Amino acid sequence: MVKKAPAQKSSQKRVSELRALIEHHNHLYHGLDTPEVSDAEYDALVRELQGLEADNPDLFSVASPTQSVGATASTTFDPVQHSVPMTSLDNAMDTVELGAWGERVAKGLSGAAAEFVCELKIDGLAVSIRYENGVLVQAATRGDGKVGEDVTANVSTIAVIPKKLTAVNGTVPDVLEVRGEVYMPFAAFEKFKKQKEEENVVRIAAGKKPEAVPVNPRNAGAGSLRQKNAEVTASRELAFWAYQLGETQGVPEFTTHKESLEYLTALGFAINPSITVVSTIEEVNAFCAHWQNKRDTLQYEIDGAVVKVNSLPQREVLGFTSRAPRWAIAFKFPPEERTTILRDIQVSVGRTGRTTPFAVLEPVFVGGSTVGMATLHNRAQVALKDVRPGDTVVVRKAGDVIPEVVGPVLAKRPKNSVPWEFPTHCACPLHTELVQVDGEADTRCIDEQCPFQRDQRIIYFASRGGMDIEGLGERTVLSLSDLEFVEDVGDIYALTEEQLLQIEGFGALSAQKLLAAIDASRHRPLPKLLTALGIKHLGPAASESLSLAFGNLDVIASASADDLASIDGVGGVIAASITKWFEQPANKKIIEKMRTAGVDFGNVERTSLPQVLAGKAVVVTGTLNGFSREEAEAAVKLRGGKSPGSVSAKTYAVVVGAEPGASKLTKAEQLGVPILNEEMFLALLETGEI
């Protein structure tokens, strides 16, 4: 007998480990809707196994999970035999792999040109729905591709899925199986999540353990579809996109996939509006890149794009592997969710004393960057999510959004785990007791002498939204504070080059640049200065209104609360906060420091433009040709109008450019708010009328 080499033994052991792991995760994901790892981590396991099997042909097995689809159907529902197997898709993780697939397609077609249909890869649950003589008779999950679960009653509750087909040219097909994705839209997910959190508040108050809160729309949607009680499914507001035909009898002859989708639309199915037909792999790459950057503008979750050969005869030529069609591939986007270890929970203190718990994580690459910390929002959220140091947690980062801990993976929780308790005192040297004010979710340090608050006030003052002092970021402010060179924002204007050179990493050039930036900030417009002071409740919009009304910081400081409250957009709460701030001796001292330093208290940009939009709110969304977003909003305000960030019943008009925010556009349509293009916007600025 030939002995196996050590390397081969090692490969065989790893192959066995990977097969067992993947089967385990398949069962959790497809069968129980309770995954322990993210999609990206699962994909990495599968690709490692595929590589080992390719490098060691003698280890190949038809029973390997690389040769199968999904997982064995659950015994909770009756089994359904698919008349046409529901195959899976091979993955491309980057443009190189996508290009290699394109080359394989060209080779398989002997060099013949091919069109491609590009679709969004919806992160939901694949189902097959069968109609006989135009009536819905059965719906099933994918299962292992051959046998799925009977979810007919549940699917029948989804409003967008037709129960009877619309006749096309006077007829309906004898048999039609349509494949598609059941998913939970973000709005429905947030509603469901909020409901679970509210239920947990009641459970915690009653001394009971909180139940798991859904961590993402995919798991929530799949779990909702697999409810034994169809009424529960109906309450979850699921949706569906159709994307492929299965078995058919009595349907027209199609030559392209796009034609079959148009036919499904005519029958009454919802087809994703982003589906695009292109002629080259370069155009496919452009489609994928576009939606990778714009995925956060959608009202549902996607994790990639699906690319299919459009020609049905060409698909016949290309055929299938044991588990996937050669004529289609899934292009996977970088993950926005990963799992990692929660090392610790700590609490930061902001400029107003608000405390924010945050997670210290085992660093993980997610959403395009390595994340080592993530927000936990507030005290209540930590309790509701029941995340604990030592937990394996789901971390989410979408685009530029601050990373957050979504929730724990309970199956991996250490046995000795105990709930985390919010601290009772501030971690600063003053060790002040933390207070949770009635009616507020936030816990605060109420000692305004707290050095943590002081440092954050200075950081906020120098930030882009404040006085925009380039070079005076968090690290520099903390260094200046440690050296006791700044006690408040007024001290910024007394800094010297000699002091700055004592900061680690600062040379003469960087010190001179910072001093020049500080000097330039003396002449910022009054609304910027007023906002930068960090007065509680006072934001940029109210600061601008106050500046236009009073014209000078000293006048605002001496105005009565009633006079302040009379200004549009201010009101009693903000007015009271302003008067309280200016009455405090420490803040009076800050104002005098800035006055001595020559900070301009009366730089107000006034306009001679007619106030044609006075009292009108105009929301801007999308990219305009002649304006940046800020310029368009400024144009509205210069004519007396408001430009809020959200649409309401009081909105006068919504200006829509290229690639607008879907939520704003949908809200405007629901409320009947006029929608204007750029040309109409220019006319509005001129006349104030639509």
Q: Which residues are known catalytic residues?
A: 121
Residue located via tokens 């210290």: 360
DSSP letter at 446?
-
DSSP letter at 61?
-
Residue 115 in 3-state DSSP? coil
Residue located via tokens 């991996």: 412
Both structure tokens of 434: 């933390």
Interatomic CA distance for residues 573 and 264, integer angstroms: 55
Of residues 357, 297, 284, 368, the one with CA closest to residue 95 = 284
Query: Using an 8 Å Cβ cutoff, are 305 and 366 in contact?
Result: no
Count of CA atoms in the C-beta half-sphere (13 A) of 57: 0
Question: Dihedral of the CA atoms 309, 47, 333, 373 (nearest 10)?
Answer: 170
Residue located via tokens 């925009």: 468
What is the helix (H) or strand (E) element at residue 548, kind and residue range? helix 540-550
In this structure, the chain runs to a length of 690
What is the helix (H) or strand (E) element at residue 593, kind and residue range? helix 585-596
Interatomic CA distance for residues 338 and 57, integer angstroms: 32
Both structure tokens of 249: 């009898």
Interatomic CA distance for residues 680 and 427, integer angstroms: 55
Q: What is the secondary structure of 159-216 as a DSSP string?
A: TTS-SBPPPBTTB--SEEEEEEEEE--HHHHHHHHHHHHHHHHHHHHTTPPPPPPP-S
Alpha helices, H only, 396-492? 451-462, 474-482
Interatomic CA distance for residues 192 and 169, integer angstroms: 41
The phi, psi pair for 686, rounded to 5°, reads -75, -45
* Residue 450 vs residues 170, 346, 352, 425, 457: alpha-carbon distances, Å: 76, 17, 10, 12, 11
Query: Using an 8 Å Cβ cutoff, are 182 and 125 in contact?
Result: yes
Q: Tell me the pairing of strands 434-436 and 617-621.
A: unpaired
Of residues 186, 303, 177, the one with CA closest to residue 242 = 177
Alpha helices, H only, 56-94? none
Interatomic CA distance for residues 606 and 452, integer angstroms: 37
The phi, psi pair for 633, rounded to 5°, reads -65, -40
Interatomic CA distance for residues 476 and 460, integer angstroms: 13
Q: Tell me the pairing of strands 675-676 and 651-656.
A: parallel
Residue 621 in 3-state DSSP? strand
Query: Using an 8 Å Cβ cutoff, are 434 and 355 in contact?
Result: yes
Interatomic CA distance for residues 137 and 155, integer angstroms: 11
> Which residue(s) pair with 138 in the sheet?
130
Of residues 122, 139, 141, the one with CA closest to residue 31 = 141
Interatomic CA distance for residues 628 and 634, integer angstroms: 10
